[in-house]
Each structure stands twice: as C-alpha cells, then as structure tokens.
A and B are shown apart, each in its own frame.
Chain A
C-alpha cells in the first residue's frame, strides 16, 4: 500500500518568513496530493491540492509543488502569520474515490 513520509515533524519560523514542508510517497499510481491544516481541537481542513498532471499550484500565500519522477511534493507558505500555526498533513491517493493515506503531520509554529 501507499506510504507517505512527511518532514519535518516540527517547524518554527518567525512571522513573515517562509515555511516549507516536504512529503514523499511510494505508490507510483498515486496521482492526487492534498494538504490539510488542523488547528487544535478542530477537524482537518483542505487548504490546497494538486493532481499529477500539474507541477505547481498556487493560492495566495500557499503553493504546492510536485515532482512525480522523484515521488515528492512540498507545501510552501510565504509571509507566514501567527494564524498559520497549526498541524499540517500531506496525503496521497489514486483518483476515483480511493481513500487518502496521510503523512504523520508537521506542527508549524509561527512566532510574532
């Protein structure tokens, strides 16, 4: 089955700096890669996703890049703000309604 590795497990940045979280996956058939943000005590929220026919996708301060050959994808947050502090999970799945396999999460702390 799919195995998703995520690094780092914790990340501390100063407000305004950039944050990068990296994931690798093992199943070459995976072609859908979402990122979720989970604040303390709340449900995971989908923040951005990318499909394998695209190498990069951007939404305001958030971007995701995908290298399908190397089987890795990354989340980039620019101009970080304290409200970006949360746990971020990457995930991977095949298309067509397969369940998501999640990485272990990255706890991001943005200090003022």
Chain B
C-alpha cells in the first residue's frame, strides 16, 4: 500500500483562525478523500479531492469552510477556515488506486480549537 504522510499531526488553534493540513503520498493515486472523525465518533466524508478540478463536497460541508486543493496525483491540502471549537476533530486523508477500492488512511491531524 502507499505511504501516506499527513501533517501537522496535531495543532491547537485559536478561534477564528485557519489551518491547512497537507497529505502527501509516495505514489500516484487516483482517489483522495478527506474525512473528519469527531471524538469517539465514526468517520464522516468531507469531500473528494479531484485532481485539476474543484473538490466534490458532501452534504453539510462547503467550500468556503473547507477549501481543498489537489494540484497533482500525489498531494492534497485541506484548509479548515474561520475555526470554532466545534471544528475540534481528527482530520484524515485517505487514498485509493485506480480500479482498486481499497482505501488507506493517513495518520491524521488532531485539531483542537480554543
């Protein structure tokens, strides 16, 4: 499976600020997704990061709040904008290969908003 590097691993941020999370993969992957995992909860899909075009967002998530970039097949960023304490969660990128449904996860970014 691909090696997925995600950073930062954790951060403590002030209300109203923004944080950009990076996801780097050691090989080209077709699919990249961003998930959120609130404390003690399941994984919720935020969006699909599309290479060369705008991300596809799930219901309840909007581009102004969670802008995503995917400049190539190995890298993506997720920004959490204008943060509030409700954004405190673990954010995970996940990747999959062409024709293969298996998804693997990055190590996650634990975000705490004060």
A29 at the interface (CB under 8 A from B): no
Q: How far is the CA of A43 from the CA of B109 in the complex (A)?
A: 10
Bound together, the chains give a CA A43 to CA B92 distance in angstroms of 8
A97 to B49, CA, bound (A): 12
Main secondary structure, interface of A, reads loop
Q: Is there contact, CB below 8 Å, between B103 and A43?
A: no
Task: Name B's interface SS.
Answer: strand
Q: In the complex, which of the residues B45, B104, B106 contacts A46, with contact meaning CB atoms closer than 8 Å?
A: B104
What is the interface of chain B, defined by CB distance below 8 A to chain A? 30-31, 33, 41-45, 48, 92, 94, 96, 98-99, 101-108
Interface CB pairs A-B, < 8 A, 18: A32-B101, A34-B101, A34-B103, A43-B92, A43-B105, A46-B104, A49-B101, A89-B42, A96-B99, A96-B101, A97-B101, A98-B101, A99-B31, A100-B33, A100-B43, A100-B94, A101-B45, A103-B42
